[in-house]
Structure 1
Amino acid sequence: MKNTHQHSRHVQPARLALQLGFLALTSFAAWRHQTLGGGPEGAASIDALCPFGGLEALFRFAMTGEYIQRLNSSDFVLLGGTILLALTVGRHFCGWLCPLGTLQELARKLGRRLFGKRVFTVPPVLDKPLRWMKYVVLVWALVFTWKTGSLIIRPYDPWAAYAHGFAGWGEMWSEFAVGSAILFAMLIGGLFIDRLFCKYLCPLGAFLGLTTKLGFFSIRRKENACLACTKCDQACPVNIPVMQQAVIRSSECIGCLSCTTACPTGKRNTPDEGKTFLLPAVAGRTLRPALIGTAGLVLFAGSIGLAQLGGVWRTLPVSLTAVASVNGELDPQAIRGFMTLAEIADTYGLAPDALYRELGLSETQVPANTKAKDVRVLTGQSEEAFDTQTIRDAVARLRTAP
């Protein structure tokens, strides 16, 4: 394979550019949702743009044809795209696209600048059992989400916490206190340890790791050409012992190709110039790292594009009634912060003046077009005294009153 190393040296800068671009895109989507709100006329929530959401919603949709609150067909499309990648080019989503993975890599780059290039690793006696935690999280999240019909993992999700940070610290810590704590622990720990969340807690990573084992992707090493320099081992962010294996098919591999681009074989002015002996492979055939990276992007973007052309892609609910319904019936607990008082009264069949009286509000002070999450700001009340749950409880009382 001629000039493989020459082509490979641009792979990691290109990967970083793609990671930053995807992080910026998803951050913009999160900011837009916090600014415009959700609902049929709003902007997609970060939950509707999550591949794991498709896995969470799968059981309920198969049984009833309904989506879990905040999820939509877009989640299934993204799940299908990540599975397609896992089967063909490995955990490409984890290594090239996942914004949470990008935040961890940025933290590690900062850590190297602040504290030097020393690699910190968790001792094997702790590392091996801790790796099983993400599978426990995966099973727990799926079982209880399917059982309850709600996103059980949401308050603990560091990505959901990050996305709601665009609404301010108050909302981030009130609804996502645990998720925020995990996010900051992940980033602080990430200064010293590569991909901390990915290795030990990520349920999507656990699922894609199992899927990858059924696919065609691997890393292949030509043992008789190996220089035993250990650079591949040092480059691996998830600590796979690359140099000890001829074929690497670990479920932990995130497909970042850092090991292949770190391999010094085939560099200029060496007898094997142009021939790299550590390469990614699909169905046993070795390919250039750049080709793998490009193929992954095309497959993922293509799956989304085809879904949009086919009318399958949807990120927003079709109506407020769909938002407010649980198991086909209107449920006050489904009231969301983006809904205005007028929309709440109309959707739940309440007289507006009755809702105002129950809440102890005046329409002069709080206009009917005020969003539920903004009421406390206009009334000057604390979040403990008045929040969206206050409105849910008031609507529930009105609907059950004689």
Structure 2
Amino acid sequence: MTLGHFIFFGYNWTLGLDPLLAGEASSLEAVSNIIVRGFLPLLGVVLAFGWTSWKYGRLYCGWLCPHFSVVEMVNGLMRRASGKLSIWDRQKLSRQRPDGQIVETNNRYWWLVFIAVVGFAFLWAVVFLTYLLPPKEIYHNLLNLSLTRNQMLFISVATLLLSIEFMFARHLFCRFACAVGVFQSLVWMANKHAMVVSFERQSAADCLGCHHACEDECPMRLKPRSIKRRMFNCTECARCLVACEQVQSEKSRPSLLKWQDGQSALQESDR
């Protein structure tokens, strides 16, 4: 914001309008610069992101999104503290993980939940501020306890709001409030041949005794054995597939959850 342009991998990324303002370039050259440096890169990013969402769904959410990483980490700590992945869950999860590990709950883990939630909220607040103001200034003021009033106010309010979101509404934000995630879901749902988690329903009897491990492992609190439109918010993280594979391998049986795309994906899309 202080420079008035973007920075891309350390290089200034401008629209190249300075020569026009200085009278050294024509309006045609300025329009060309806007198209080449502004419109085409933006169009390329949108098309690439849209194509990825069309074919693979919320791939960004499950593998690149920093918010989803925080969700998974807090989920793990909250499971150790309460036996649930969210304070809104009515029932506790099974104590046994798909790999056979037993998860014992301990109230002392609530301290780690609180530290993780507030710690990441503060870190995010500082990082958000460094997108608006020079990072060197923010980190210098932070280390020397000399933040300005507005900087302190921004970090304090952002930390409070993010702490509330991480603690109480992180799943709801991912599923319904994140514009990037919802866009990917809408594009993915429009493609019946897109990659989807498919359930071998003809072998559903093999699920007996599993204690719905795939559902317990889903960070988004979805039911992986359901049809596609009920997995609208699936982030393609594959934790349900790993869980099913681990459970079934103990019985020397193949996993009942598999990736499917193309014509094979229609069984989940058309139901």
For Structure 1 versus Structure 2, the TM-score category normalised by the shorter chain is 0.5 to 0.7
Q: Among 216, 228, 234, which residue is 1:253 paired with?
A: 234
CA contact (8 A) 1:173 1:180 kept: no
Tell me whether 1:223 sits opposite 2:201 in the alignment: yes
Partners of 2:185 and 2:6 in 1: CA distance = 37
Q: Among 239, 242, 246, which residue is 2:224 paired with?
A: 242
Q: Report SS of the residue matched to 1:184.
A: helix
Offset of residue 220 of structure 1: 0.7
Partners of 2:177 and 2:216 in 1: CA distance = 22
Q: Report SS of the residue matched to 2:249.
A: coil
Q: 1:66 to 1:234 in 2, by over 3 A?
A: farther
Partner in structure 1 of residue 177 of structure 2: 201
Partners of 2:238 and 2:189 in 1: CA distance = 17
The ranges of structure 1 where at least 4 consecutive aligned residues each deviate by more than 4 angstroms after the TM superposition are: 37-45, 64-67, 71-76, 158-161, 168-180
Q: Report SS of the residue matched to 2:187.
A: helix
Offset of residue 105 of structure 1: 2.2
Tell me whether 1:164 sits opposite 2:124 in the alignment: no
Q: Report SS of the residue matched to 1:280.
A: strand
CA contact (8 A) 1:238 1:252 kept: yes
Q: 1:117 to 1:40 in 2, by over 3 A?
A: same
Partners of 1:180 and 1:39 in 2: CA distance = 27
Deviations 1:42-63 (A, max 9, x none): 5669xx9xxxxxxxxxxxxxxx
CA contact (8 A) 2:198 2:257 kept: yes
Partners of 2:33 and 2:156 in 1: CA distance = 29
Tell me whether 1:183 sits opposite 2:150 in the alignment: no
Partners of 1:65 and 1:111 in 2: CA distance = 54
Report the AA paired with residue 281 of structure 1.
Q
Q: Report SS of the residue matched to 1:242.
A: coil
Q: Among 178, 187, 195, which residue is 1:211 paired with?
A: 187
Partners of 2:6 and 2:57 in 1: CA distance = 37
CA contact (8 A) 1:232 1:262 kept: yes
CA contact (8 A) 1:162 1:180 kept: no
Q: 1:238 to 1:41 in 2, by over 3 A?
A: closer
Aligned length: 189
Partners of 1:224 and 1:41 in 2: CA distance = 54
Q: Among 72, 78, 102, which residue is 1:105 paired with?
A: 72
- Once the two structures are aligned, what percentage of the paired residues are identical? 19
Offset of residue 172 of structure 1: 5.1
Partners of 1:159 and 1:73 in 2: CA distance = 31
Offset of residue 163 of structure 1: 2.8
Q: 1:84 to 1:176 in 2, by over 3 A?
A: farther
Partners of 1:172 and 1:199 in 2: CA distance = 31
Deviations 1:201-250 (A, max 9, x none): 2111111111110121221101232314311111112222233x2x4343
TM-score normalised by the chain length of structure 2 = 0.55
Report the AA paired with residue 92 of structure 1.
L
Task: Write out aligned runs for 1:57-72 (5 A).
Answer: none
Offset of residue 285 of structure 1: 3.8
Partners of 1:116 and 1:259 in 2: CA distance = 21
Partner in structure 2 of residue 326 of structure 1: none
Q: CA RMSD in A?
A: 3.9
Partners of 1:266 and 1:161 in 2: CA distance = 45
Deviations 1:312-358 (A, max 9, x none): xxxxxxxxxxxxxxxxxxxxxxxxxxxxxxxxxxxxxxxxxxxxxxx
CA contact (8 A) 1:87 1:211 kept: yes
CA contact (8 A) 1:100 1:159 kept: no
Report the AA paired with residue 240 of structure 1.
L
Q: 1:182 to 1:74 in 2, by over 3 A?
A: farther
Partner in structure 1 of residue 262 of structure 2: 283
Tell me whether 1:88 sits opposite 2:88 in the alignment: no
TM-score normalised by the chain length of structure 1 = 0.39
Partner in structure 2 of residue 308 of structure 1: none
Partners of 1:248 and 1:96 in 2: CA distance = 20
Q: 1:66 to 1:176 in 2, by over 3 A?
A: farther
Q: 1:106 to 1:232 in 2, by over 3 A?
A: same
Offset of residue 266 of structure 1: 3.7
CA contact (8 A) 2:195 2:259 kept: yes
